[in-house]
Amino acid sequence: MYEPIRFIQLSYLTPMICFHQMTAPYGYGMHRRGRVLSFAWRIILSVFVVFFLSLKANAQKATLSAPASVKVNTPSSNVVFAGFEGKEPYTFHYTINGGPELSVTTQKGNSANVPVPTNKAGAYTYRLIRTVDGNNVVIPGGRESVTLSVNDIPTITTQPQSIVTGIGCNSSLSVVATSSETNTYQWRKDGNVIGGNSSILSLIPITATSAGAYNVTLTTASGSLISNPVNVTVNPPLVAGSHDISPITACSNYNPAALSVSGTSGGVS
């Protein structure tokens, strides 16, 4: 009895015969419909080469990275250029906001840092144009860009002003600030948070409890700033009786009014 053998057909190649669980020497016979057609004790071995195809992902050959934002007038941050293919050193050619082409070369390793100027607020886009390795070969791919925002800390251009007012008057405190970001405001009276959340704090109407020390905190993503403290002075109301006659301020939004008293035999007018 002949042990079964297995034929493996590979496309466009000569069939290969594989023997299983048998001991050399090997014999083989050709069968057709169960009948032996030929028999031999010699087998011809065909040697063939198997090619392995290695697929590699289309990875980036060079990159650049940077923080999303930094504060103005703070220690400089870096845009980092890095090469991943070819021979060191790498030279990276890039532009800033579409300006003239600049370049930086690695000194050690595969990366180079470019400081970001933080003396002026704004958005800065760094675009990698091409990368050249130590063999003067242009590395394909890796063309990309990053945008970094330099945000300024809020600056108060007009501080709140102290006011002298009277009960029942309509008064307000205000602050003017500049910033490249959105400001949020929080007013305080005598160190306690009160309801004002804008650049203007309305005090309507003035009451005796309106008197006190006020300030406002401005906050942005880049930091916060506290205004100078100011005082709100509330004059007491006039009552019947005798009073010193002198110019007084009734409401802060009106000019001081000089009062005069003249007497008659019938009373005071």
User: Peptide bond preceding 229: is omega within 30 degrees of 0, i.e. cis?
Assistant: no
Tell me the CA distances in angstroms from 106 to 57, 91, 122, one per residue in order: 26, 7, 27
Tens-place pLDDT, residues 120-160: 778 889 999 999 999 999 887 666 888 888 877 778 899 99
- According to the model, what pLDDT value does residue 115 have? 87
Query: Which numeric CATH code is attached to 63-151?
Result: 2.60.40.10
Does residue 267 register a pLDDT over 50? no
Q: Where are the domains of the chain?
A: 63-151, 155-235
pTM for the structure as a whole? 0.47
Is there a common fold for 63-151 and 155-235? Answer: yes
Q: Which amino acid is it at 151?
A: N
- Bridge partners of 115? 78
Task: Name which of 177, 129, 125 is nearest 150 in CA terms.
Answer: 125
Question: Between 180 and 51, where is the model more confident?
Answer: 180
Q: Which amino acid is it at 161?
A: Q
Average predicted confidence (pLDDT) for the chain: 74
Tens-place pLDDT, residues 80-118: 989 888 889 999 999 999 999 999 999 988 999 998 888
Tens-place pLDDT, residues 27-70: 555 555 555 555 443 444 343 333 333 334 344 577 777 776 67
- According to the model, what pLDDT value does residue 116 have? 84
Query: Which numeric CATH code is attached to 155-235?
Result: 2.60.40.10
- According to the model, what pLDDT value does residue 241 have? 57
- According to the model, what pLDDT value does residue 36 have? 55
Q: What is the Cα–Cα distance from 83 to 67, expressed in whole angstroms? A: 19
Q: What is the Cα–Cα distance from 198 to 204, expressed in whole angstroms? A: 15
- According to the model, what pLDDT value does residue 142 have? 63
